[in-house]
Every structure is written in C-alpha cells, then in structure tokens.
Structure 1
Amino acid sequence: MENVKSLNSLSYLKVITQTENVNIEFEDLVEEKVIWYFGKKISSLVYYAKTVLNKEDDKPVCPKCGHSMHKHGYTNPIKVKYTSDNASRPTFILLRKARYACDFCHRTMQMEASKLIDKFKSISLRAKHYILSLLTTEFSMTEIARQATTSVSYVLNVLVNSIDPYNLSKYDNLPKHICIDEVRVINRVCNFICCDAVKGTIIGVLPSNDGKSIIEFFKSSL
C-alpha cells in the first residue's frame, strides 16, 4: 500500500507531468516493454494512468442541457508520448479518460487531461515543447526526430503549427539569398518554407504551396 500511495502522491504527479494541479491518477503498475511506435518496435518505459475529477464529490454538468452527469466507464487507453532523460528508452503514459453520461439527455463526454496533452492528440505538451526547444538549435530535423523518438514529419508538423504563417519575418527587408522548398507534414499537405541562405534562419512557413499565398507572403515582407 505504501508503494501505491507514493505513486499517486502529488509530488509524483509533479515529477511526471511537470505540474501540480492535474486531474490524473497513476496506477502502481510501471512496465518496461517493447511497443510499436511510428511503425517500429522500441523498448520503452510505460506508466498507466486515468483522468479523474479534481474533487471526488464534484459532478460535471452537461454542456447541452445543464443537468448533472454520472460516471460512465473509461475510454480505451491512449498511448501518450512523454519526454525521457534516456533517449534510448522513451517514456509513454497509457491514459484512460473517464467518461460521463447525462442523467437527463444521455449525452456523453470524456474528462480531458488538458495539462498533459491536447485534445485528440497523442504526444504530450511537454514532448512538443521539447521538440520546439530543439528546433532553435543547429540540429537537423532527422536528429531532432531521433532525440524525441518521433518521425521527421511530426517535427515538421510541430514547426508549421507553432508559428504565424504570415508574420514570421524578422527582417525589415528580405535577405539577398533565400532558400525555398516544400515540406510535407502529417496531414499530407505540402507546405511552403523559405529561409536565409547564409544564416539558415527560417523566414516563413505557409500552410500551402499555392502561388497566391506565396506572392501575398513576399509582398507583406517587402
């Protein structure tokens, strides 16, 4: 019982999720196992957790009719990629989200873990921030993907989605030499990217590669 208590303590949650007030409860089971990730088998450390209400006596309110809701089981576990000090053994959290059903209209909803992961995503916010920090270095996309145990396409996806496509340029004027290319991200859409050919600094990334958007971007940079 002492082991279970320590695993579910607030200090343990703070170490794992880097925040104190999270609605996550960890189980006492921690495994080192081989799992499939981005199409390949890797040895990883796996934690098991589930979302809970911040207070046990609280009941969520139905967003549709305003009536109280009752617990209605859990979702299938989501494989959440987390950061790890050991790049050769990445860390995952198998997260089950609590489901609730409305007593009046029977609408269902699930309890999200917004401090840990974005809705509909499977890579934690901490892992995404780690990738963003590596993007400010001189590491290549391939090296960043290797260190973060992700794919190159996901690293590109993080880059494209984390910046304002039409307000990127730090230049009063465009540099003399520019490198231009296309990148394909997870949604299979080609994105336009350009950078300073001398400094290697990214000037702009656009969500598409159509000529109208590219012309509009360069006009705004003049």
Structure 2
Amino acid sequence: MTSPWNIAIPAVAALVATLSGVVIGALLTRHAQFVQWSRASRLEAYVAFLKAYSVVYDGLGHACRHQTNPTIDWTQWNQALATLSLVSTRSVMENAIAVDNAIWSIDACIVNGDSGMGRWLEFRKELEAKRVSFVNAARRELAVEQAPLVQVVGSNRRAGMIIHNNNDNPPQASYPISDRAPRATPSKSVGDGE
C-alpha cells in the first residue's frame, strides 16, 4: 500500500517548482522591462537635451554674430537639464553641466559686448567640444559600441551629419566658417521713394 506521503511529496515538489519558475520568470521579465524602459528614458532625455542645445546654440550664434543681446527662452533648456538629472548617469550629467557652464559663460560674454564673428568662431569651438564630449558619454552609457566621435554636426542646416574618428583620413570641416552667407541688400534705383 502506498503511503500518502509518497503522493503528497512529489505533488508539493511539482507545485513548488512551478511556482518558483513563475516567480523567477516574472522577476527576470520585470528586470528586462525595467532595463529597456530605463534605456529608452535616457535616450529620450538625451535627444531632448540636444534639441534644446540646438535652440540655445542658434540663439547665441545669432546674437554674437549680429552683436545683439541673446533673446533665448531658457525654459526648454532648463527642462532638458532637469530631466537629465533624473535619468542620466553621473558621467553624462557631468558632461551636460560642462555644456551648461560654457553656455552661461558665453551668454554673459555676449551680453557684456564681447561679440562679433571672430569671437563667435572661438565660442563655437568651445561649445562643440563640450557637445562632442556629452554625445560620447551618452553613447558609452547607452552601450553604442562604436569608436568615439571627434565631431558631431547637426543644426537646422545639416541635422544628423556625424563624423567618426578615422585615423587614415582626419576629419575635415563639414561646414563653412560662417553659419550663413551674408544676405545681399537690395539696391535702390534713382527713382525709388525713401
């Protein structure tokens, strides 16, 4: 005759194994979904930061080249920084802060009259170096397994153009020295009213 324990022990063992599998599977799925959500959140924050950067960059560039005070709405920029502080790693945030510090320093220089095309070319080099550092930190953190970038080009003119570090062919400037060609002023003919 079979003991009730001979039936109960295998049934309980099967039940425990099944429940353990369900719990472990749920934990692994939850972890994978969290990792995916976290990566997507960081990527979204990095894109928002770079979009806000392009608005600020264009505003500073226009003000500096035309020797006027910047008229920038800082709301989008501050929101992008706040979002980064919530989701990014320390390395990415340090690079974002370096970009922010450079922007505020350049803004102060322009407001104090330190502007003009020659000065903008100097400012632009500093800003672009900080932006490349930010992009490379973000790429490392997002596990983009490619060589670090030496230049990232993207504005309203050439959005998305990227130059990779290639030791055989050093990167060349991919845009003219001035952001936009000077506009021709219409000439008045003798009979035009003033």
Specify the TM-score bucket, using the shorter chain as the normaliser: under 0.3
Q: Bigger radius of gyration, 1 or 2? A: 2
Which structure carries more strand by proportion?
Answer: 1
Q: Which has the higher contact order (CA 8 A, sep 6+)?
A: 2
Which structure carries more helix by proportion?
Answer: 2
Superposition TM-score, scaled by structure 2 size: 0.25
